[in-house]
């Protein structure tokens, strides 16, 4: 009888160790993802500030400019109308 209890106890310990290492990996991944989101949010805020400066300069001078994040994902800012036009608007 005691052998079965011992075997069950060892199996429980092994399961806890496996779960612990998986939990540690998941926590590390979650921490890395959270840190990445913080950096991404900061960089996007910086990019928005730069775009706002470009919009202001375009409004002051009547200039226009394009901004493409990647192919098919962008648009044009018209300084005369102070409006963004999607890149697909001209299709």
What is the torsion angle, in degrees rounded to the nearest 10, for the CA atoms of residue 33, residue 36, residue 40 and residue 43?
Answer: 170
Q: Tell me the percentage of the chain whose pLDDT exceeds 90.
A: 35
Residue 32 located in a structural domain: yes
Does the global pTM surpass 0.75? no
Residue 67 located in a structural domain: yes
Q: Per the structure, how many domains does the chain have?
A: 1
Residue 62 located in a structural domain: yes
pLDDT per residue over 13-32, tens digit each?
555 555 557 777 788 889 99
Residue 35, SS3? helix
CA angle 18, 24, 26 (to 5 degrees): 105
Residue 91 located in a structural domain: no
- All residue ranges of the chain with pLDDT < 70 are 1-20, 89-91
Question: According to the model, what pLDDT value does residue 90 have?
Answer: 62
Domain with 71, as residue range(s), is 2-86
Which residues does 73 contact at the CB level (< 8 Å), separation at least 6?
Answer: 87
């Amino acid at each position: 009888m005691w052998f079965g209890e011992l075997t069950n106890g060892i199996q429980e310990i092994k399961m806890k160790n496996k779960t612990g290492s998986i939990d540690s990996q998941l926590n590390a991944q979650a921490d890395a993802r959270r840190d990445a989101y913080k950096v991404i949010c900061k960089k996007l805020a910086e990019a928005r500030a730069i775009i706002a400066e470009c919009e202001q300069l375009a409004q002051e001078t009547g200039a226009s400019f394009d901004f493409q994040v990647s192919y098919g994902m962008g648009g044009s800012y018209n300084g005369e109308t102070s409006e963004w036009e999607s890149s697909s608007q001209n299709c």
